[in-house]
Structure 1
Amino acid sequence: MSGATGLLRKAFAEAGVTGRLHALDIDSGADLDDGADRPVVTASVHKLCLLVALHRQAADGALDLTEQTECPAAGRTPGPTGLAAMLDPVRMSLRDLAFLMMTVSDNTAADVLLARVGLDAVNATTAALGLDRTHARHTFGELLATVRQDAGPGGARALVDPHVIGRLRALDPARTNHSTPRDMTRLLRALWRDEACTPEHGAAIRRLLGLQVWPHRMASGFPFDDVHVAGKTGSLPTLRNEVGVIEYPDGGRYAVAVFTRAASPAALLPAADAVIGTAARIAVDALRAQPARNTREGIG
């Protein structure tokens, strides 16, 4: 698929980003690799690993997803969405916290769940699933604290300075939560084949991924009413990521992981967001063009 790889690299370059991608036909196993084994910063993509750990514990009887949890107003993990942006105390179930964590990437909801599940359990889950290059070092609050510490007295305003960006531990896979594109598609494939959780819990996870509200990254590459995109984004200064599964009405299912880093530190870069959808579409089109696709449909 050298032609597709060339198109990917051209798209990334035109958007002003470097990109790493892995795409996988969930059923045939055919794949497309462009830096798939390079370590990448997961940012909020790691919430998917937490979600899987949560549901595996529920399946084992270690917790009840309807269990109610208190979230006081003070001490919340910062963020622009969900509980992180709310002002009053809240009481809700673990599964509703998971809904906020996945649909609007709520950092507070994620850390409340982490306090219940445990960071070690998240890492044990990824290890058990064979994701040998995936590891969480920090809670989401701790991760954001490293950004504040490394930014120094200039605070958020300093994050437009390339020298400040260059010293952020949160952007170094060796010093923060990390994975590879191939590990992430392996996880997605296991979820869609009910190999990561029981069928009941796998269906619940797939439902939440399908409810994510952000249409500007991976979903932008598939503007069709009959193509379903389920995914999880991740963002940090200069970083824009998404992993997800694209399902076609003919039964084709494709796991795609795209991780990018922009040359510009600007917070708003529509081209950098959109190229995730463009890259995913290039990869899926290449996979669908393979002979294995025709065999599955009974054509070849």
Structure 2
Amino acid sequence: MSWLLAIVAQPAAAASSPDLMTVERQLAELVSTRSGDFGIAAVDLSSGRNVSINGDRLFPMASTVKLAVAGAYLNQVDAGRRSLSDRISGRSASQQIELMLTRSDNAATDALIRNLGGPATVQTWLNYNGLSGIRIDRTISQLLRSPRDLLDRRDSSSPLSMLKLLRLIDHGPVLKPESRRYLLDMMERCITGRNRMKALLPAGTLVQHKTGTLNGLTGDVGFITMPDGRRLAVAFFARGGSDRPSTIAQAARAIYDGFSGSWGGRMFTTYGGTGGSAN
């Protein structure tokens, strides 16, 4: 795919924190040697220190969009308009959210979207909270039935826009503490994508995340907690090529090391993966 090779040839680096330029250079080197198109962004939620590679480039969100659906529903719960005990398509809303976030269940996602009033309602919630860089145009079933075009701008986000959503979830005004804890617990229990951002992080590292997969697309977004308690919001999107999960895993480890100050010129190693679901 010539268009993809042209994009990958010179990955764009956004302005990042000066003390993290080394890790950003390493990330740029990593993606420049891979056959796909990658977007990476990370920010320390306490200090604002950040890095990004192709941070403004749009990528299909796939199932990472489910974080926005959960946020919109929980916002309604906080406002007293809905409840986690409401029955939606034969299950409680809480059961549907759990299936959506921990197992990436598409039917549960579409049941919640319909209950909210459709994709446009979720988009309105995003826009109201200043997240116009994220587009939600279709239900999951509609997306899966559509012809595949990895450059389609519908249902897309840039890595930096996804970071804005993650920061809003983490400490913005849109969720009450109870709903925030509930959402983060669901993200911590995510069982998909064990071969992505979690794969090469030290054992026991707390990761709260949501994966996304379409044919030719792999994503993983969420939070990484550092040993000293600092939390990073991270977004990884990859399309094309054949080594997307392994590249995300290595990029996540580079970010972990860079933000912890333990980067020591580590060379990217051959990755064997840990298996797991690919949703």
Which category of TM-score, normalised to the shorter sequence, fits these structures? 0.7 to 0.9
Report the Cα offset of residue 47 of structure 1: 0.6
Once superposed, what is the RMSD of the aligned Cα atoms?
A: 1.7
Report the Cα offset of residue 37 of structure 1: 1.1
Whether the 8 Å contact between 1:194 and 1:202 is mirrored in structure 2 is no
**Is 1:223 equivalent to 2:168 in the alignment?**
no
Deviation per CA, 1:83-117: give whole Å up to 9, x if none.
Answer: xxxxxxxx210111010001111101100111101
Correspondence for 1:244 among 222, 235, 241: 222
Q: Against the structure 1 CA distance between its residues 145 and 274, is the aligned structure 2 distance closer, same or farther, given a 3 Å change threshold?
A: same
**Is 1:272 equivalent to 2:244 in the alignment?**
yes
TM-score (norm 1): 0.76
TM-score (norm 2): 0.81
Tell me the distance in 2 between the aligned counterparts of 1:47 and 1:27. Answer: 25
**Is 1:5 equivalent to 2:4 in the alignment?**
no
Report the Cα offset of residue 285 of structure 1: 2.3
Tell me the distance in 2 between the aligned counterparts of 1:138 and 1:18. Answer: 24
Whether the 8 Å contact between 1:69 and 1:93 is mirrored in structure 2 is yes
Larger Rg: 1
Percent identity, please.
Answer: 28
Aligned to 1:51: 70
Letter in 2 for 1:45: T
Alignment size in residue pairs:
241
**Which segment is superposed worse, 7-16 or 96-105?**
7-16
Aligned to 1:101: 100
Please state whether the residue corresponding to 1:219 is helix, strand or coil.
Answer: coil
Report the Cα offset of residue 15 of structure 1: 4.5
The 5-angstrom pairing of residues 285-300 of structure 1 reads 285-289=257-261
Tell me the distance in 1 between the aligned counterparts of 2:96 and 2:206. Answer: 24
Deviation per CA, 1:101-144: give whole Å up to 9, x if none.
Answer: 01111101100111101222211121122112111011001001
Tell me the distance in 2 between the aligned counterparts of 1:34 and 1:191. Answer: 23
Deviation per CA, 1:165-212: give whole Å up to 9, x if none.
Answer: xxx23x2242x2011111111221222225331111111111111110
**Which segment is superposed worse, 93-102 or 194-203?**
194-203
Aligned to 2:128: 128
Letter in 2 for 1:241: G
Letter in 1 for 2:38: G
The 5-angstrom pairing of residues 140-159 of structure 1 reads 140-146=140-146, 150=147
Aligned to 1:172: 151
Aligned to 2:271: none
Whether the 8 Å contact between 1:216 and 1:274 is mirrored in structure 2 is yes
Please state whether the residue corresponding to 2:250 is helix, strand or coil.
Answer: helix
Aligned to 1:63: 82
Report the Cα offset of residue 13 of structure 1: 4.2
Tell me the distance in 2 between the aligned counterparts of 1:193 and 1:60. Answer: 17
Report the Cα offset of residue 8 of structure 1: 1.3
Tell me the distance in 2 between the aligned counterparts of 1:145 and 1:36. Answer: 28
Report the Cα offset of residue 287 of structure 1: 2.6
Please state whether the residue corresponding to 1:233 is helix, strand or coil.
Answer: strand
Report the Cα offset of residue 14 of structure 1: 4.4
Tell me the distance in 2 between the aligned counterparts of 1:220 and 1:113. Answer: 30
Please state whether the residue corresponding to 2:224 is helix, strand or coil.
Answer: strand
